[in-house]
């Protein structure tokens, strides 16, 4: 079996996007409607894959499908909360 090589992160993202989409659909069936494909990608790339050696497409897809819904839910809610705080801080400086 040959090794796949990608010339960019966009190309890699496009390759695994069907798995990301599938995970988002699963989350929606569990009433978690605010998580997007890019949220899962960002979480896994910064929290899981960055620490891995010799990452394969199959292990990335496995990570996507096995991602705990509460983990990604908390990750996204934390980002939203931080953004809200930044917006409030900016608005507060206008007064």
Q: Look at residue 14 and tell me whether its pLDDT is greater than 70.
A: yes
Query: In 3-state terms, what secondary structure has residue 94?
Result: coil
Band of the pLDDT at 26, cuts 50, 70, 90? very high
User: CA-CA distances (angstroms) from residue 56 to 10, 17, 18, 22?
Assistant: 16, 15, 16, 19
- Write the pLDDT tens digit of every residue in 35-70: 999 999 999 999 999 888 888 999 999 999 999 999
Select, from the ranges 18-22, 48-52, 84-88, the one with the highest average predicted confidence (pLDDT): 18-22
Band of the pLDDT at 93, cuts 50, 70, 90? low
Work out the mean pLDDT of the chain and round it to a whole number. Answer: 87
* Structure-block tokens of residue 23: 């995970």
For the chain, the farthest-separated pair of C-alpha atoms sits apart, in whole angstroms, at 63
Burial class (CB in 10 A: 0-12, 13-18, 19+), 47: exposed
Question: CA nearest 60: which of 17, 5, 8, 11?
Answer: 17
Higher pLDDT, 12 or 71: 71
Element (H, E) at 61: helix 57-66
pTM score above 0.75: yes
């Amino acid at each position: 079996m040959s090794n796949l090589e990608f010339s960019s992160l966009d190309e890699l993202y496009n390759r695994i996007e069907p798995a990301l989409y599938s995970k988002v659909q699963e989350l929606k069936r569990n009433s978690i409607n605010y998580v997007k494909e890019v949220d899962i990608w960002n979480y896994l790339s910064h929290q899981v894959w960055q620490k891995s050696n010799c990452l394969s497409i199959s292990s990335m897809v496995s990570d996507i499908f096995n991602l705990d819904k509460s983990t990604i839910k908390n990750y996204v809610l934390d980002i939203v909360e931080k953004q809200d705080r930044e917006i409030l801080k900016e608005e507060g400086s206008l007064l």
